Structure 1
């Protein structure tokens, strides 16, 4: 089962999905060769938008926090993928410390931590949870809504390595996106594997860099598949040195919005698309759907009112916004019970391990769904994203999930290249 695709333009999408099916062998060979030259992120999640005429990623998270939303049937696949990731980074690993986010009051997030720890334990690792929060000064137990409990301990530094009391792990897995910066306890580690690397955190990571890498990946993939790369890639540009409070940089931002809208209108005309183009302006660093606005005219970003300026000025952990990504808006025409929905694809290593749908009853098809009021419908992907059925319809569940998986893997490949390209110079031998 997949959400109803509410659009008369499902024909173009089915053409794309059919192309994926017809070229499955070539696609899988292309990915196999690409991963020979690139190291996958330990894990990632990708927000995908399906407009009926375009299927594209709009965000990639390198510290995914929704493993609790995956279908239980996907757990064997997740465990096998995690085993592959562990064998890649440290084949002889016996133990790992998982570093969660600081917020311990969000039981939904902690349920994600519990699911992730359970997956890792099944790979043969001893797993302990080590927090960088100042509030965790001693081992603290947290009860979860499903009856489970988690023991979170202070992360400790010993020399150039970190661990928890009684354990110096082979590797450290971050499930903390470092929006507040790299805490001292994690700085300057030597000889200990940390994944994702700290430079992949939001203190230094930029979405514009990711989509530059995605451009490179998609150009190669689209050439192989003989398709227009725009069908799976949103236009974007970047602007920096903004100050929303002081209205500094508004004209430059308006010019960027006009640029993306103009390019999008040309493509809409080429494909006979009657929808109104729009642009999403979002903080170039940060997550949780903060620092985002949707605009359909460049004039909308000039003379923002106080509420709008406050919304765009600060993101998670109070991080000030001075750089923004201006991205072509991709409509979502998927619908669950008359509410708009978007798929979120989850990966461990180079493997798609499932996904689910983010739904928002109060948002439209041209708005950001990662916002207060969203929920995750218990409509997890019911089949793996790597087993298409070429004898079935292009829009059959198994084949649409395969298409989502292709987009997720392209984004993960871009993330791999992004991480490699942004290694701090002092760490390059």
Structure 2
């Protein structure tokens, strides 16, 4: 079933779609050459926003959950990609251990684990779920609403290997972004493949580094397409070590917001865009209790200061200094059943395997949709993102639009591969 999609059918986004379709052979060759030099993340998901005049990623997740939102029609793509990924890393792989998030799992997250297990099972692996949560003391089975069950077992750490009772995996897949830190149980594993690597997790990873790498690859693809890379890139800057309890820290953050907002305004003026520009302030790694803040003008900045004061009041300890990413806000002009929507693209190895729309009836076109109250509608990938329809007028073919989403998703995935190379401690030690 194809969801009722209302998307911007005029303006630069159609011109961009036409350029992408006309350049399809060159784009695919460019990606092939890049993957000869760089290793894609094992799996990833990318939040994409279509503003009607530009199409850009706003978040790239290297430990994606939500696999349960992919339709059964998308599963063959995922299985083939899983086979390719495993074959590349460990052709003799037999047993795969998936390590989920800590804490009491929601029914949604359990369905995600069931889908991951199914996917790798069909790729030819024995799959078990092993928890590193100290609170899980014994094997626990959870029943799902559809009649399936998910069993979590406590992980056992040997001298050099990680496993379960009577289960010795050669490959370990993290579905846990380790935002609270890397536990010792995962360190110094030398005899097994750990995917993604530990430096892909939030104790090391920085969004600013990712978008710096994304800027680099978007400039190169923009040159190939003959378009302004801003049409596929959100302007971004980092504001380091901001002490929210200190007026000077707030002033530095406001100055950074003003700089990025001025750059966005200049671009809007260049393209004759009448929408109101805005920026988004968010944690540079993982999340921050402040959340994601949208700033359009001085009034929003004052609201931000009031939120910080509320956050600080009543605390026994001061709010710790933090690094923030100040990023151009990208509107979404897409709607599904009258609700604001954004596509989320799922990839494994170097392949797009599916996706869905994240929708939120209570949010505006300039707000974060990844919030309580959001829901999900599968993308219509029955023709796959690799089967566009050249010759059809831009803006009227869903496969063509989805192909363009897939190009931007893969571009973010390529940026992630650059990012992981730049932060690889082993490579740095070698140098």
TM-score norm. by structure 2 comes to: 0.93
Q: Tell me if 1:167 matches 2:173.
A: no
Alpha-carbon distance in structure 1 between the residues aligned to 2:55 and 2:134: 42
Q: 1:135 corresponds to which residue?
A: 135
Cα shift readout 1:351-399 (whole Å, capped 9, x = no counterpart): 0001000001111000111111111135554431111110323221100
Shift of 1:406: 0.2
Shift of 1:419: 0.8
Relative to structure 1, the CA distance from residue 244 to residue 417 in structure 2 (aligned partners, 3 Å threshold; closer, same or farther) is same
Q: 1:374 corresponds to which residue?
A: 374
Relative to structure 1, the CA distance from residue 138 to residue 235 in structure 2 (aligned partners, 3 Å threshold; closer, same or farther) is same
Q: 2:353 corresponds to which residue?
A: 353
Q: Tell me if 1:419 matches 2:412.
A: no
Alpha-carbon distance in structure 2 between the residues aligned to 1:23 and 1:38: 22
Alpha-carbon distance in structure 1 between the residues aligned to 2:408 and 2:400: 13
**Tell me, which stretches of 5 or more residues in structure 2 are unaligned?**
314-318
Q: 2:203 corresponds to which residue?
A: 203
Cα shift readout 1:240-296 (whole Å, capped 9, x = no counterpart): 111224555111111111111111111111111000100000111115997210001
Relative to structure 1, the CA distance from residue 277 to residue 95 in structure 2 (aligned partners, 3 Å threshold; closer, same or farther) is same
SS at match of 1:249: helix
Q: Tell me if 1:333 matches 2:326.
A: no
Q: 2:316 corresponds to which residue?
A: none
Q: 2:406 corresponds to which residue?
A: 405
Q: Which moved more, 1:299-308 or 1:90-99?
A: 299-308
Q: 2:41 corresponds to which residue?
A: 41
SS at match of 1:244: coil
Q: Which moved more, 1:294-303 or 1:48-57?
A: 294-303
SS at match of 2:11: helix
Q: 1:55 corresponds to which residue?
A: 55
Alpha-carbon distance in structure 2 between the residues aligned to 1:382 and 1:310: 48
Question: CA RMSD for the aligned pairs?
Answer: 2.1
Alpha-carbon distance in structure 1 between the residues aligned to 2:407 and 2:427: 35
Mapping for residues 119-134 of structure 1, pairs under 5 Å: 119-134=119-134
Relative to structure 1, the CA distance from residue 256 to residue 112 in structure 2 (aligned partners, 3 Å threshold; closer, same or farther) is same
TM-score norm. by structure 1 comes to: 0.94
Relative to structure 1, the CA distance from residue 311 to residue 128 in structure 2 (aligned partners, 3 Å threshold; closer, same or farther) is farther
Relative to structure 1, the CA distance from residue 181 to residue 58 in structure 2 (aligned partners, 3 Å threshold; closer, same or farther) is same
Q: When the two structures are aligned, how many residues end up with a matched partner?
A: 423
Alpha-carbon distance in structure 2 between the residues aligned to 1:6 and 1:99: 38
Cα shift readout 1:203-234 (whole Å, capped 9, x = no counterpart): 12100000011111111111111110000000
SS at match of 2:242: coil
SS at match of 1:214: helix
Alpha-carbon distance in structure 2 between the residues aligned to 1:320 and 1:371: 24
Contact 1:244–1:310 (CA under 8 A) maintained in structure 2 = no
Q: Tell me if 1:149 matches 2:162.
A: no
Contact 1:284–1:323 (CA under 8 A) maintained in structure 2 = yes
Relative to structure 1, the CA distance from residue 2 to residue 274 in structure 2 (aligned partners, 3 Å threshold; closer, same or farther) is farther
Alpha-carbon distance in structure 1 between the residues aligned to 2:312 and 2:25: 44
Alpha-carbon distance in structure 2 between the residues aligned to 1:44 and 1:293: 25
Shift of 1:12: 1.3
Alpha-carbon distance in structure 2 between the residues aligned to 1:46 and 1:113: 19
Q: Tell me if 1:73 matches 2:82.
A: no
Q: 2:292 corresponds to which residue?
A: 292
Contact 1:357–1:380 (CA under 8 A) maintained in structure 2 = no
Cα shift readout 1:22-77 (whole Å, capped 9, x = no counterpart): 11111100110111101010000000000110000000000000110011101001
Shift of 1:17: 0.4
Contact 1:132–1:154 (CA under 8 A) maintained in structure 2 = yes
SS at match of 2:74: helix
SS at match of 1:10: coil
Shift of 1:337: 1.8
Contact 2:290–2:308 (CA under 8 A) maintained in structure 1 = no
Contact 2:6–2:336 (CA under 8 A) maintained in structure 1 = no
Q: 2:32 corresponds to which residue?
A: 32
Alpha-carbon distance in structure 2 between the residues aligned to 1:306 and 1:135: 37
**Tell me, which stretches of 5 or more residues in structure 1 are unaligned?**
314-318
Q: Tell me if 1:391 matches 2:395.
A: no
Mapping for residues 131-280 of structure 1, pairs under 5 Å: 131-247=131-247, 249-280=249-280
Contact 2:3–2:380 (CA under 8 A) maintained in structure 1 = no
Cα shift readout 1:104-145 (whole Å, capped 9, x = no counterpart): 331101100110110001111111111011121111101112
Q: 1:316 corresponds to which residue?
A: none
Alpha-carbon distance in structure 2 between the residues aligned to 1:158 and 1:51: 51
